Each structure stands twice: as structure tokens, then as C-alpha cells.
Homo-oligomer: A and B are copies of this chain.
Amino acid sequence: MDQTRKVSIIGASGYSGAELVSVLLKHSGVKIDKLFASGSAGKRVDDVYPRFAGTIDAAFEAYSASAACSSDLVFLALPSGEAMNIVPELLERGKRVIDLGGDFRIQDPVEYERYYKQAHSSVHLLPQAVYGLPEWNREAIRGAKLVANPGCYPTGALLPLLPLLKEGTIAPRGVVVNSLSGVSGAGRKAAIELSYVEVNESVRAYKVGTHQHIPEIKSILQHFTGHSVSLSFVPHLLPLTRGIYTSAYAPLQKAVSAEYVTDVFTRSYAKEPFIRFSPSAIPEIRNVRHTNYVDIGVRVDSDNNQLILFSAIDNLVKGAAGQAVQNMNLMLGYPETEGLL
């Protein structure tokens, strides 16, 4: 780390952007260069986020490609549909890019349009977008110009499913992914349905069968295992600020023991710094809050010939900003855990 790199964030005033600021402040190798935010441009960072008072003496500014040029790497933390209009000019200027949004996660522009309800404006860049799930794509990320940081729900679903699907332990059909999310996953915005009174003491499923993370989960499963998977995914909104809890029910290809499953996970993840697999414990969101960990648990449900898998992540850390920094570490050659432990 003989050299400090400069990074900027476009969309720095949302929850993922602000979390990214928090994580980067703990990183010994990079310096935050510019914080771009359209709505909050001109406002001091600590006026919008008073928790940064005394820590950051800077203001949000309006984005321009030339202003971003002083950075070695640029993070985008924008609502879906915005990054695809900005990434081209950044790549042209030779910037390396990590997009925390959904624009470059799905290779198929038809699927993108179906779920994101708009045509993709940078289809030509999709082939060079590298899916930023370090545990499964480490080498590609290192050399990538454009990393598509995984969605929060996909992160929670993919990490427990991938090793089992790849090993052929579970079947590529009939998988149920039931996910629960804290409210910060919906972003920072004024909306009655996100207000305290509407969310508190309630639970609701939403976007059943239409959530934009469905094609992401399916296509990434296929990408890393070769299996086309039939899978249902239902997200639920819960009265908590942070966290995603995933319960997945996956049919077994053959009868297996708990030891067998443990062995699959151990072989896949024993050396992963951010995956904590426990053969006995059931994950809980509180154990991963404000961390980049993914906690994974499993039960063999022999009665129903399936595995029941659980994972817990912090949606803003491993589900967004933490994983983005993990990717940055790979891209810039820092130790993968720098700033994240």
C-alpha cells in the first residue's frame, strides 16, 4: 500500500452511498475524492447525515464526468436505470467502475427490460460487466473495468445455494427462496408506505413474482453452476432498519447427511473471510449487523427430502457497500478484508 488511491461515489446521499462513505473511512488505502449527489448537491455531507459531523468536512456536488476524472475508481449508488447512462463515459475516460445498482447485473437485455420496466441503454457494455460476488468470481473481479455489485437479496440467496447446486446436492428445480428485509433496502425516500407508522408492527410480502432480483438470482446460479434453475423468490418487508434474512427450501437430488452438507460448505467456504458457516447454529440478523459477514446455517429435512438453508446479512454492508469495497480491494490490489473487519 505504498500509494493512496482516490475514489468517488455517484449517488452518495442515499443509504448505500452513505454506508459506502462509512466503510471507506475505515480503509487505510483509499481517500474519498468526490461525493456526487444530485438532490443534495451543494449541501454539506454532515447536514444531510449529521452522524458524519467531525469526520467529513465536505459537500455533495453535482456529478460531471470531468469532475470524476480525478479518481482512480468510481462507485455508483444510483436508482436503477441511471447508471447505464453514466457508466459509458466513465469507462471511456479509463475509470474503473463498481455499480451498486442493478443495471449491469443481468446479461440479457430482454430480461432486464421485463423486470426493470425500461430498455437498457448500454447493451454493448453488458458483456464486460463482471458480477461482483468475490467468493465465486474473484479472479474476474481483479481485472474488471466494470463490476456489477450484487443485489442485497441475491447475495443472501446465492451464497448458500451455489455450492450445493454446483455439487449436485440440490435439484435445479422447485427451489423456494423466502426473504425478509429491513426497510433501508428500499432506499432513502419520502413515501407513505415506508413511513414508521405503516411499517412498524407489520409484515408484508411484496413484488411477488415480479421482483427485479429474480432474474439476477436465476442467471447467476446458471452462470456459476451451469444449471438452469426453476426457483421462486418472495421478498417481505419487516420492521427493522437493516438486515436480510433468507430461508431457502431446496429439494435434494439424493439423501444426504448433515455431515455431507457441512463438508460441501467447508470445502467451498472454509477460507472465505466473510462467510461463517455453522453446522449447528441458525443465523440471526443481529449477529451480522454492521458487518460484512454472511452467516449460513442449514438443516437436512429428510422428511421432505430437502435442505432448509438460512442466511443473514446486513443489506447495506455485505448486501451493498461492504461487498463493493471488497470488490474494490480485489480490483486495486488491497487485502480483501481491508476496511471491512
Question: Which A residues are closer than 8 A to B by beta carbons?
Answer: 15, 50-51, 53-55, 174, 176, 178, 180, 182-184, 188-192, 194-206, 208-209, 230-232, 234, 236, 238-243, 245, 247, 249, 251, 273, 276, 278, 281-291, 293, 295, 299, 301, 303-304, 306, 308, 310, 312, 341
Establish whether residues A190 and B188, one from each chain, have CB atoms under 8 Å apart when the complex forms: no
Establish whether residues B239 and A204, one from each chain, have CB atoms under 8 Å apart when the complex forms: no
Establish whether residues B238 and A204, one from each chain, have CB atoms under 8 Å apart when the complex forms: no
- Known contacts A183-B197, A239-B240, A286-B51: A203-B278 contact under CB 8 Å: no
Establish whether residues A301 and B232, one from each chain, have CB atoms under 8 Å apart when the complex forms: yes
Q: With the chains together, A61 CA to B299 CA distance in Å?
A: 32
A to B CB contacts below 8 Å, 11 in the list: A55-B341, A174-B251, A176-B176, A180-B236, A183-B197, A188-B197, A194-B196, A194-B197, A209-B299, A209-B303, A249-B249
Establish whether residues A203 and B304, one from each chain, have CB atoms under 8 Å apart when the complex forms: no
Q: With the chains together, A242 CA to B192 CA distance in Å?
A: 17
**A222 to chain B: closest CB distance in Å?**
15
* A206 surroundings in chain B (CB, below 8 A): 282
Establish whether residues B200 and A241, one from each chain, have CB atoms under 8 Å apart when the complex forms: yes
Establish whether residues A232 and B303, one from each chain, have CB atoms under 8 Å apart when the complex forms: yes
Candidates B203, B209, B295; contact of A301 at CB < 8 Å: B209
Q: With the chains together, A295 CA to B278 CA distance in Å?
A: 36
- Nearest residue (CB) in B for A22 is B290
Establish whether residues A232 and B249, one from each chain, have CB atoms under 8 Å apart when the complex forms: yes
Candidates B194, B278, B290, B310; contact of A53 at CB < 8 Å: B278
Establish whether residues A241 and B282, one from each chain, have CB atoms under 8 Å apart when the complex forms: no
Q: With the chains together, A335 CA to B176 CA distance in Å?
A: 42
Q: With the chains together, A55 CA to B274 CA distance in Å?
A: 11
Candidates B53, B198, B304; contact of A231 at CB < 8 Å: B304
Q: With the chains together, A110 CA to B54 CA distance in Å?
A: 42
Establish whether residues B304 and A232, one from each chain, have CB atoms under 8 Å apart when the complex forms: yes
- Nearest residue (CB) in B for A273 is B54
Q: With the chains together, A206 CA to B230 CA distance in Å?
A: 27
- Nearest residue (CB) in B for A242 is B201
**A238 to chain B: closest CB distance in Å?**
6
Candidates B15, B195, B209, B240; contact of A191 at CB < 8 Å: B195
* A197 surroundings in chain B (CB, below 8 A): 15, 183-184, 188, 194, 241
Q: With the chains together, A192 CA to B245 CA distance in Å?
A: 22
With most chain B CB atoms within 10 A of its CB, the pick from A15, A51, A206 is: A51
Q: With the chains together, A299 CA to B283 CA distance in Å?
A: 29
- Known contacts A184-B197, A230-B303, A284-B202: A293-B54 contact under CB 8 Å: yes
Establish whether residues A205 and B282, one from each chain, have CB atoms under 8 Å apart when the complex forms: yes
**A257 to chain B: closest CB distance in Å?**
15
* A231 surroundings in chain B (CB, below 8 A): 304
